[in-house]
Amino acid sequence: MSEQRVVMCEGRLTDELRNEVKDRAPEQVYILVDSNTKKLCLPLLEKDEFFSKVKTIEIKPNDDHKTLEALASVWTFLSQNKATRKSMLINLGGGMVTDLGGFAASTFKRGMDYVNVPTTLLGAVDAAVGGKTGINFCGLKNEIGVINSSQSVLIDVNTFRTLDDKNFRSGFAEMIKHGLISDEKHWNDMLAFDLDHIDYSQLSTLLRDSIAVKEKIVAIDPYEKNIRKALNFGHTIGHAFESYAMESGSPILHGYAVAYGMIPELYLSHKFCGFPKELMREAVHLIKDNYGAMNVGCKVYDHLYELMTHDKKNVGDGRILFTLLGEKGIGDIKINQDVEKKAILEAIDYYRDVVGL
């Protein structure tokens, strides 16, 4: 996997993007947006004469449109507009756009250059960095995809000012996860950040540190054979919550699903790996206070467990493997933890108890 360049470019987004195009000299340039980023973010680029003339591909927003049909529409546009392997695709949007756009670029003509310009905090800290691309399939999150990094990720925190509170907190949940798997300083910085009164200068520094956590892990293990599984903390149960919510017709934001998933996985960390109780309570308190709760009834436990069996970290014998945290506390990562069904359901009971369901 090629090395990915991450640039924090407050106030210089169009300049950095123009330089990116100049350096790579593609035959054609295309911009992928969803209907939200077309309205809110594309005008920022179109102030530049060059980007005002670039052909735009529009797809529908939100994760429930991260589908094979949407992917095919991007391929069709590229084909009908004479894109080649020497073209470039700019993905301007949140995680849904960078996931789908990255997959489209990685597979069209067997691969073309692409650049991610994440316009959500979640996209910046998670989806746009690290090379994972893909679409949802058969009701399962990111079931089809490839690992192939964009050439660059260009981030301007000023674009996050358009986010509503829930979408901002959705991205911050992944930063909470990075805090838990990194070190005490970064974790304490996360605890000190005021989500009710956002300091964007402070956010820029904290975001850079959070991305660095992911970059360091991905550099060691780009194809998730080993330590990259650390980035899945909170995701095994979180993805099950997310898939169930989507099936139920009441989808939740990805970051909220991860936040909810971290609570039972913190419990499993304490129960099986000795993660300190006081740290567990501290993290659970942070999540509970900022993310509310998803109503999970006892009758859906077996279905949630079935959804977890599809997690990509699992092996072929049906065991569910977790990334957990160990007795040394923050940053003590324990991958490939085999947890039995009884304990998983007990952890969901714990989640229900602490959030007051």
- Tell me the sheet residues that pair with 334: 324
Determine whether 270 is an active site residue.
Answer: no
Determine whether 178 is an active site residue.
Answer: no
**Tell me, what's the pLDDT at 1?**
55
The residue from 224, 229, 242, 265 that is catalytic is: 224
Question: Strands across the sheet with 55-59, in order?
Answer: 5-8, 152-155, 113-118, 88-93, 29-34, 55-59
Determine whether 12 is an active site residue.
Answer: no
Summarize pLDDT for 275-288 with one digit per residue, the tens: 999 999 999 999 99
Contacts of 278 (CB under 8 A, 6+ apart): none
Q: Which residues of the chain fall below pLDDT 70?
A: 1-2, 315-316
**Tell me, what's the pLDDT at 131?**
87
Structure tokens at 336: 């490939």
Indicate if 171-196+225-355 has the same CATH topology as 5-163.
Answer: no
Please name which of 127, 78, 135, 60 lies closest in space to residue 103, comparing C-alpha atoms.
135
**Tell me, what's the pLDDT at 2?**
60
Q: Rounded to an integer, what distance in angstroms lies between the CA atom of residue 269 and that of residue 86?
A: 47
Fold that domain 171-196+225-355 belongs to in CATH: Dehydroquinate synthase-like, alpha domain (1.20.1090)
The residue from 91, 116, 142, 232 that is catalytic is: 232
Domain boundaries, the chain: 5-163, 171-196+225-355
The residue from 186, 229, 254, 334 that is catalytic is: 254
- Tell me the sheet residues that pair with 274: 326
Fold that domain 5-163 belongs to in CATH: Rossmann fold (3.40.50)
Summarize pLDDT for 171-184 with one digit per residue, the tens: 999 999 999 999 99
Determine whether 303 is an active site residue.
Answer: no
Q: Rounded to an integer, what distance in angstroms lies between the CA atom of residue 149 and that of residue 128?
A: 9
| Residue 66 exposure: Cα atoms within 13 Å on the Cβ side | 28
Distance of CA 304 to the CA centre of its chain: 21
pTM for the complete prediction? Answer: 0.88
Determine whether 310 is an active site residue.
Answer: no
